[in-house]
Every structure is written in C-alpha cells, then in structure tokens.
C-alpha cells in the first residue's frame, strides 16, 4: 500500500526530534494507544533512550517535545514516566481521509514472486474439517499479497499418489463394466471410499489385488493409469466444488499434484549422491545433517529413498523445492502446513539448501497451524471416529444462516435469502478460523463457530449493510459524493482514524501472516462505525453535515468491503 502510514510517519518525526535532542540511533517506538486518554498514538522510546544516555526520561521527553514545538498536524503531551502521547488534529485526518483509497498498493516497490503451498487435500479421501485451516489461511495470504501487487503462485500440492490408491483403483476396476462411464461410479465419493476400504479390511484376496494395483500404477500399466486418471479427475472436481462454495480462489490450474514430481525423484537422488550427501543406512538412502537428532541423540536421517526402492514424501517435497526455486524462481515460498510437520519441513529445507536446490536469497518458510479440537480437547471427529466432512460443515453453516434470515428479514425473495445465507454462513466459518491465532490448536464448537453475534463476520457484514441502507434511504449515489469530510464529534474522528489505519493492519499482518490481526482491525473498524452510527444522526441533519457523514460512511463501507475481501469474505446489500 502506498497510502499514508501514520505510524510510520510519526516514527520518522519523533526519531528525528530525538536525534536533534542528541540521541544517536533513536527508536521512537510508536504504538497505537490502548486508551483514548493516552492519545491516538504514543511514543514509548524516550525512556529507553534516556536510560541509555543518562538523562532523566521526562527531561528528554520535554526536550523532544520542545523541538517538535507547536506542530500543525499533531499535538504532543508528556505523560507518566516519559511517554509522549500524540493526538492527531482533526484537520490532518480530514485531509488524509479525502485522499484515502483502498485500491492503493505496495510501498517498497519491490514486486516479489511468492509461492503459497496450501490446502493440499489427499485425493484418496473426501475433504474434511482438517483441511479448513490450511485452505482458508493460505487463501488469505494469497489475496493479501496480490493486493500488494506481488506475484502469487498458488500451489495446491494434492496427494494423488501412493499406496492408498491401490484399493481404490482395484475396487473401481472391479465394479466397472466394460464400456460403462466410470464417473457414474464415483457420483457418491464418500460411499465409494467406504466400500473400498471395507473390502480392503475384510477381504484378503481383495487386499492382495489392491497391493498389485499399487505396483501396476507405479509401473504405468495402461488400464490402471486410465482408471487412476478418471478417479483423480472426479476427485478434483469434488474438491473444486468445495472451494467454490467456500469462496476459495484456488482453481484446477493451481493443482500441482505429488505425481507431477514423479520423474524428478530419481534425479533428486542422483544429485544428492553426486554431492556426496547420501549415506546408505539399513538399506535406505539417507541424508544425515548434524543439526538433526532423534531419540537418544542418534543422528536423524532424512530418508530420500526407502529400502524397498520407493520414494517417501520427503523426496517429493525436495523435488517441489527445486521446482519452486529453479523453475518458478520464487523469492519466497510459504508452506501452510500443520504444526506437526515442523520437523519434516525443517529437514526438507535444510537438505534442499545443502543440495543447492534453494538459493541463499530465497526464503522458504513454514506457516504452521494447530489442530481443530472438540470441546473435550480431543481431535475433532464424529462419534464413530470418522473425520467430519468439510462440506457438511459448510452446509450446516448456510442452513443456520438461512434460518436466522427467515426470522429476521422475510421481505427478501427466496433466492435472495439463499444467496445471503451462503455469504453469511460461509463468512462466519472463515472468520471464526481466521480470527484465531494461527499457530495454536483451537476448539471447534458449532454454536461459537456459527455464531452470528459479537466479533464475527456477520457483525462486519451487518455494519456494511447498514451503510448501504443509508444510501438506499437517501437515494444517494456514493460515487457522486465529492464533498469534503468534516470531523466534529469524537466518534467521527475515531472512525476516520480507523479507516486510515488499514495500511498499518496489512503491514502488521505481513510480518507473520497472522490473519487475526486483520480481523481485529476490521472488528474495531466496524465497532467504531456502530458507535458513530448510534451517536451521530445522518439523514436528518442539515445538508452539509449529512453529506460529510455519508461520505465518511462510504469510505467505511469501502474499507470493510475490501478488508473482508482480503479474507475471502463477501458482503451483501441486505441481510
């Protein structure tokens, strides 16, 4: 974003004044104040600097504020042990809100190519609740980076290879009559998976056949390959329908499946061998790096080829690093993968670096996330121990939203109600996910997850509809508003300031891709609007005030809309 970053501006102004006061390498430590009585922003760096230079903190603070003098845009006040509380003058906010635009983008000018590895369902299973986090978190990162004009490569590293496909293909072959359309057998995927795995467990003959199919698949047997391709196609279509319903920006074109790296696997091993990184251990080809220790301080291998000649997923992941580094030429690669994979990914990155697959300037980074748990702290499963299907969660969400809509607003057409239920229900799920700290486990409870009150997506969406309603009521076209915004009431000033802080939220988000920072920002924005809306009449005011407040409401709506869009959450005109 290249809009005004107030925090950054203040950082420069205060640091410069500190320097003039005799501080070397000053750090102003500007923060948004927690309480209004401490101003809009505060500088916390005076005390540390004073300490370091042997001044009494308040004396230094005085010196700095004297240098700053009677500023046109800010007022400064010394408080407590040596804080400088900063207040923005209304005129300053008015002037900047007039230039505000949500479509401004990146600052530092450097466009990066960022690969984001996310979602990555296993095609041998139906998508379940466990896929929600990676999918939603990764999609947000993709949207935010794109909004900052970076080039984003979405990489959906789907599992489409390996032993678990043996029984599926054997079963598919068994139930398919020659000449019959295969996809008709796969209309109910869930039933298909269950039948296949039931046979695999209960029928020894079938299990043996299934194992043969694994071998056949790996040796590119034509019939087997044909079945596999069909199966993968149907399975991917199923995933895509979930993505569409969830409003995820992934498409079929973003799929780069595990099998896509099959031909690279021997090459990877060869390179490792040529670089003398390989050691044979118990028949397996391993890379031993000093930094990895297993149980009892034994060296921990990264196994790139198993003793049976097969390749483990570490080999595939290595091939993927090479592709992303050398072919895509990524500046940064983000892996949105569960926290339990941490050691694995550390090994992947370390081996890839040792082998030269990753250049020294390239950043490969794991963005871990925790588990979704039940209220009792155990992993989230159905009563009989099965995974909860993602599509069921989404349907439950829209059903609940629809029910609520029917209670609250029956004037909409059936079709509109359904549309709004989708937007509200799906928004609630995504927001519930994104508003929590990425790295920790969290409790999934239907009622809190699908709550439509308080700090939730519907609250933000509701704020948006209230604004849209204002424009309907007053028959005003927001794009025709050209009048300036005049800020009188505290609620107006705080709301306008919030709007201007969007850029700070985005930059804070990009530090560590913690979406809850964006959520918190949007929630505070919506709250500020609600407060303004209650306190400041709009449509009943004189022309000038009315126009100003409508203008302020309009930039708020734009900010809510584009902020929610970064999270992949939509808005509606009515709800």
Partner RNA sequence: GCGCUGGUAGCUCAGUUGGAUAGAGCAUCUGGCUACGAACCAGGAGGUCGGGGGUUCGAAUCCCUCCCAGCGCGCCA
Sites for RNA among residues 197-256 (CB under 7 A): none
Q: Which helix (H) or strand (E) element contains residue 304?
A: strand 299-305
Nearer to RNA, 185 or 231 (CB): 231
The encoded tokens of residue 211 equal: 């194992």
Instruction: Please pick, from the candidates 115, 137, 424, 500, the single residue that binds RNA as defined by CB under 7 A.
Output: 424
Euclidean distance between CA atoms 444 and 371, whole angstroms: 10
Q: Is 74 in the site for RNA (CB under 7 A)?
A: no
Q: Is 493 in the site for RNA (CB under 7 A)?
A: no
Instruction: Please pick, from the candidates 105, 531, 545, 565, the single residue that binds RNA as defined by CB under 7 A.
Output: 531
Do the beta carbons of residue 197 and residue 164 sit within 8 Å?
Answer: no
Euclidean distance between CA atoms 2 and 14, whole angstroms: 21
At closest approach, how far in Å is the CB of 239 from RNA?
A: 15
Q: Which helix (H) or strand (E) element contains residue 87?
A: strand 83-88
Tell which residue, 71, 72, 78, 63, has the closest CA to residue 19.
63
Tell which residue, 399, 407, 405, 429, has the closest CA to residue 572.
405
Euclidean distance between CA atoms 238 and 230, whole angstroms: 13
Q: Is 458 in the site for RNA (CB under 7 A)?
A: yes
Q: Is 439 in the site for RNA (CB under 7 A)?
A: yes
Stretch that binds RNA, among 13-21, 162-170, 194-202, 478-486 (CB under 7 A): 162-170
Site track for RNA across 95-134, x = CB under 7 A: ---------------------------x------------
**Number of residues written out for the chain:** 575
Do the beta carbons of residue 341 and residue 308 sit within 8 Å?
Answer: no
Euclidean distance between CA atoms 347 and 292, whole angstroms: 8
At closest approach, how far in Å is the CB of 373 from RNA?
A: 7
Instruction: Please pick, from the candidates 8, 19, 44, 562, the single residue that binds RNA as defined by CB under 7 A.
Output: 44
Nearer to RNA, 156 or 185 (CB): 156
Q: Is 47 in the site for RNA (CB under 7 A)?
A: yes
Do the beta carbons of residue 366 and residue 342 sit within 8 Å?
Answer: yes
- Positions 298 through 357 that interact with RNA (CB under 7 A): 298-301, 303, 306-308, 310-313, 316, 339-344
At closest approach, how far in Å is the CB of 508 from RNA?
A: 6
Stretch that binds RNA, among 59-67, 144-152, 167-175, 459-467 (CB under 7 A): 459-467
Q: Is 26 in the site for RNA (CB under 7 A)?
A: no
DSSP state of 387: B
Instruction: Please pick, from the candidates 89, 112, 353, 527, the single residue that binds RNA as defined by CB under 7 A.
Output: 527
At closest approach, how far in Å is the CB of 105 from RNA?
A: 21
Stretch that binds RNA, among 18-26, 73-81, 131-139, 241-249 (CB under 7 A): 73-81
Distances 356 to 72, 271, 287, 361 between C-alpha atoms, Å: 55, 10, 14, 12
Nearer to RNA, 96 or 164 (CB): 164
Q: Is 545 in the site for RNA (CB under 7 A)?
A: no
Stretch that binds RNA, among 15-23, 74-82, 148-156, 321-329 (CB under 7 A): 74-82
Do the beta carbons of residue 536 and residue 549 sit within 8 Å?
Answer: yes
Cα four-point dihedral sign 528, 533, 535, 540: positive
At closest approach, how far in Å is the CB of 329 from RNA?
A: 25
* Residue that has been written with the tokens 């900063």 in this structure: 86
Tell which residue, 432, 433, 429, has the closest CA to residue 400.
429
At closest approach, how far in Å is the CB of 86 from RNA?
A: 9
At closest approach, how far in Å is the CB of 273 from RNA?
A: 16
At closest approach, how far in Å is the CB of 464 from RNA?
A: 9
**Burial class of residue 386 (count of CB atoms within 10 Å of its CB; 0-12, 13-18, 19+):** exposed
Site track for RNA across 164-183, x = CB under 7 A: x-------------------
Instruction: Please pick, from the candidates 187, 253, 454, 542, the single residue that binds RNA as defined by CB under 7 A.
Output: 454
Question: What's the maximum distance between 2 C-alpha atoms anywhere in the chain?
Answer: 90
Q: Is 54 in the site for RNA (CB under 7 A)?
A: no
Tell me the CA end-to-end span of the chain in Å, nearest whole number: 31
- Any residues with CB less than 8 A from the CB of 362 and at least 6 apart, and which? 325, 330, 331, 332, 333
Stretch that binds RNA, among 126-134, 204-212, 370-378, 557-565 (CB under 7 A): 370-378
Q: What is the 3-state secondary structure (H, E, C) of 423-454?
A: HHHHHHHHHHHHCCCCCCCEECCHHHHCCCCC
Instruction: Please pick, from the candidates 168, 401, 515, 525, the single residue that binds RNA as defined by CB under 7 A.
Output: 401
Q: Is 536 in the site for RNA (CB under 7 A)?
A: yes
Residue 114 pairs with which residues in a beta bridge?
Answer: 152, 332
Instruction: Please pick, from the candidates 195, 332, 466, 481, the single residue that binds RNA as defined by CB under 7 A.
Output: 466
Q: Is 156 in the site for RNA (CB under 7 A)?
A: no
Instruction: Please pick, from the candidates 259, 321, 514, 559, the single residue that binds RNA as defined by CB under 7 A.
Output: 514
Q: Is 520 in the site for RNA (CB under 7 A)?
A: yes
Nearer to RNA, 222 or 377 (CB): 377
Euclidean distance between CA atoms 58 and 63, whole angstroms: 8
């Amino acid at each position: 974003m290249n809009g005004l970053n107030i925090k950054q501006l203040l950082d420069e102004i205060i640091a410069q004044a500190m320097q003039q006061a005799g501080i070397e390498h000053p750090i102003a430590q500007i923060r948004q104040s927690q309480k209004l009585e401490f101003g809009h922003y505060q500088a916390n760096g005076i005390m540390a600097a004073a300490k370091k230079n042997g001044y009494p903190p308040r004396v230094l603070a005085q010196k700095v504020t004297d240098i700053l003098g009677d500023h046109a845009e800010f007022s400064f006040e010394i408080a407590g042990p040596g804080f400088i509380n900063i207040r923005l003058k209304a005129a300053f906010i008015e002037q900047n809100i007039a230039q505000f635009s949500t479509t401004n983008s990146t600052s530092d000018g450097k466009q990066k190519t960022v690969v984001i590895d996310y979602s990555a369902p296993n095609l041998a299973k139906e998508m379940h609740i466990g896929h929600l986090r990676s999918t939603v978190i990764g999609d947000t990162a993709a949207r935010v980076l794109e909004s900052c004009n970076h080039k984003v490569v979405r990489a959906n590293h789907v599992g489409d290879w390996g032993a678990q496909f043996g029984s599926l293909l054997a079963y598919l072959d068994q139930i398919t009559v020659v000449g019959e359309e295969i996809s008709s057998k796969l209309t109910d995927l869930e039933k298909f998976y269950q039948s296949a795995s039931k046979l695999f467990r209960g029928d020894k003959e079938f299990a043996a056949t299934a194992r043969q199919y694994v071998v056949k698949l790996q040796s590119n047997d034509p019939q087997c390959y044909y079945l596999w391709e069909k199966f993968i196609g149907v399975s991917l279509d199923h995933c895509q329908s979930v993505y569409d319903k969830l409003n995820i920006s992934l498409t079929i074109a973003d799929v780069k499946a595990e099998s896509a790296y099959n031909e690279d696997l021997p090459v990877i091993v060869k390179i490792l061998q040529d670089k003398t990184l390989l050691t044979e251990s118990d028949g397996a080809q391993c890379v031993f790096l000093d930094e990895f220790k297993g149980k009892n301080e034994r060296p921990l291998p990264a196994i790139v080829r198993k003793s049976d000649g097969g390749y483990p997923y570490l080999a595939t992941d290595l091939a993927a690093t090479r592709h992303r580094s050398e072919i895509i030429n990524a500046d940064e690669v983000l892996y949105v993968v569960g926290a339990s994979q941490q050691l694995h990914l550390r090994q992947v990155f370390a081996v890839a670096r040792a082998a030269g697959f990753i250049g020294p300037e390239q950043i490969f980074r794991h963005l871990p996330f925790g588990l979704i748990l039940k209220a009792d702290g155990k992993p989230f499963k159905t009563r009989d121990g099965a995974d909860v299907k993602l599509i069921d969660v989404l349907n439950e969400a829209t059903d609940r939203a629809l029910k609520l809509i029917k209670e609250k607003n029956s004037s909409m057409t059936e079709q509109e109600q359904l549309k709004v239920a989708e937007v509200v229900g799906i928004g609630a799920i995504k927001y519930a996910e994104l508003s929590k700290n990425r790295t920790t486990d969290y409790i999934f409870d239907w009622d809190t997850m699908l709550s439509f009150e308080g700090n939730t997506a519907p609250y933000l969406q509701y704020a948006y509809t209230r604004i849209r309603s204002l424009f309907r009521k007053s028959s005003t076209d927001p794009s025709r508003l050209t009048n300036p915004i005049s800020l009188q009431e505290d609620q107006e000033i705080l709301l306008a300031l919030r709007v201007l802080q969007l850029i700070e939220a985005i930059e804070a988000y990009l530090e560590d891709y913690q979406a809850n920072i964006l959520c918190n920002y949007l929630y505070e924005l919506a709250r500020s609007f609600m407060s303004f809306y209650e306190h400041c009449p709009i449509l009943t005011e004189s022309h000038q005030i009315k126009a100003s407040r409508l203008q302020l409401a309009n930039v708020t709506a734009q900010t809510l809309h584009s902020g929610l869009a970064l999270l992949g959450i939509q808005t509606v005109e009515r709800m």
